Amino acid sequence: MAGLSLNLVLLQLFAGLALGAIYVLFAIGLSLIFGMLTVVNFAHGAFYMVGAYVGVYVLMLGGNFWVCLIVVPLAVGLLGLAVERVLIRPLYGRGIDYPLLLTFGLSYVMVELVRIAFGKTGFPFDTPEVLQGAVNIGVGYFPLYRLFVIGATAAVLLALWLFLEKTSFGLIIRAGARDPQIVRVLGVDVARVWLIVFGIGTAIAGFAGLLAAPLQGVIPEMGSTILAEAFVVTVVGGMGSIGGAVLAGLLVGVVVSMTSLFAPEMGKVSIFALMAVVLIVRPQGFFGRAGLMS
């Protein structure tokens, strides 16, 4: 343990926050969609993967990373809108399992379509030039791109918070999450709200996929791994709670990162151990409402 300085631990902590930022973005979309539509989106990983591939495509066409940051959420969000409107809407009121099963089938279709369009092997994704290199953050040199990921996540969270708390549409969304029936009685077109929430959730997933691309590379299967880990995040944070998703996402990122420092091969297993502990101590998660579970 002599080689482990405090600075190294702190640096690893920051690396964990960057990893956690991706989890946060992924889990927020998942939680937002579940909180409103009570749909567990098993295709969320596929939307994440499509986000990364749209980024690859924009770069192929000669665009740069900053164009990707705009185009990717829009494109993936539009895809999400179409999916909700055409495939998920007919299943409302037919039991909570059906939308889940449908999105599960959809994820196979999306992954295979991407394989047809872009091949099975995947792509490396270069870190944009401006964000290459490292900066001194006081405890040591930290990759600039990871700082950017943390910053971009914070910006998305802030924008989402302002949208939900300060706009009238956000008010409708919050009301709809609490009691869709009353909101409908008050004359709000709940179906349209659900459509837009699904679009926002998938757009954020696509954005997360783009941010993760320079860190992990781009392969068609990148979505299924993070899906299982994001489920851990939502179970730990409490399903349907955005605050829970943020806290648990960062916590899971830090736990993976810290475990990797001491026992590299146990990095991935540790988060499932975390979930097991939470399930035993507090089955509804940090911020979960007990009622949402049934």
Partner 1 sequence: MNEMTQPYRLAEAAPVSWFQFATRHRASIASLVVLVFPLVMPFTALAVNILIYGLYALGFNLVYGYLGLLSFGHAALFGTGAYLCGIAIVHFALPWYAAIPIGILGGLLMAALIGVLAIRTRGIYFAMVTMALSQCVYYLFYQAVDWTGGENGLRGINVRVVDILGVKLDFINPLTRYYVIAAFVIAAFFVLSRILASPFGAVIEAVRENETRAKASGYDVTVTRLLTFILSGGFCGLAGALQALHLSIVPIEILHYDTSGIVVMIALLGGMGTFFGPMVGAAAFLLLENLVSVWTVHWQLIVGAIFMICVLFFPAGIWGTLISRGKR
Q: Inter-axis angle of helices 144-166 and 242-262, to 10 degrees?
A: 160
Answer yes or no whether residue 140 interacts with partner 1 by CB under 8 A. no
3-state secondary structure of 26: helix
* Nearest CA among 182, 127, 164, 146 for reference residue 242: 164
From CA 61, how far away is CA 58, in angstroms rounded? 5
Structure tokens belonging to residue 294: 């049934």
Q: Which stretch binds partner 1 (CB under 8 A): 67-75, 99-107, 135-143, 166-174?
A: 99-107
Q: Which stretch binds partner 1 (CB under 8 A): 47-55, 133-141, 209-217, 278-286?
A: 278-286
Answer yes or no whether residue 276 interacts with partner 1 by CB under 8 A. yes
Q: Which stretch binds partner 1 (CB under 8 A): 71-79, 105-113, 122-130, 206-214?
A: 105-113
User: Nearest distance from residue 73's CB to partner 1, in Å?
Assistant: 25
In this chain, which of 23, 73, 202, 229 binds partner 1, going by CB under 8 A? Answer: 229
From CA 286, how far away is CA 289, in angstroms rounded? 9
User: Nearest distance from residue 171's CB to partner 1, in Å?
Assistant: 26
Q: Which stretch binds partner 1 (CB under 8 A): 7-15, 64-72, 208-216, 223-231?
A: 223-231
* Nearest CA among 184, 233, 220 for reference residue 25: 233
Nearer to partner 1, 94 or 166 (CB): 94
Sites for partner 1 among residues 23-62 (CB under 8 A): 34, 38, 40
In this chain, which of 57, 92, 98, 161 binds partner 1, going by CB under 8 A? Answer: 98
From CA 242, how far away is CA 26, in angstroms rounded? 11
> Largest Cα–Cα distance of the chain, in whole Å?
66
**Which run of H or E residues covers position 290?**
none
Nearer to partner 1, 85 or 115 (CB): 115
From CA 50, how far away is CA 38, in angstroms rounded? 23
Answer yes or no whether residue 232 interacts with partner 1 by CB under 8 A. yes
- Name the region of 165 (left: φ>0; alpha: ψ -120 to 50; beta: rest): alpha
Are the C-beta atoms of residues 247 and 255 closer than 8 Å to each other?
no
Answer yes or no whether residue 235 interacts with partner 1 by CB under 8 A. yes
Residue with tokens 């969270």, as numbered in its chain: 157
Answer yes or no whether residue 251 interacts with partner 1 by CB under 8 A. no
Residues near partner 1 (CB under 8 A)? 34, 38, 40, 87, 90-91, 94, 96-98, 100-102, 104-109, 111-113, 115-116, 224, 227-229, 231-232, 234-235, 239, 265-266, 268-269, 272-273, 275-276, 279-280, 283, 293-294
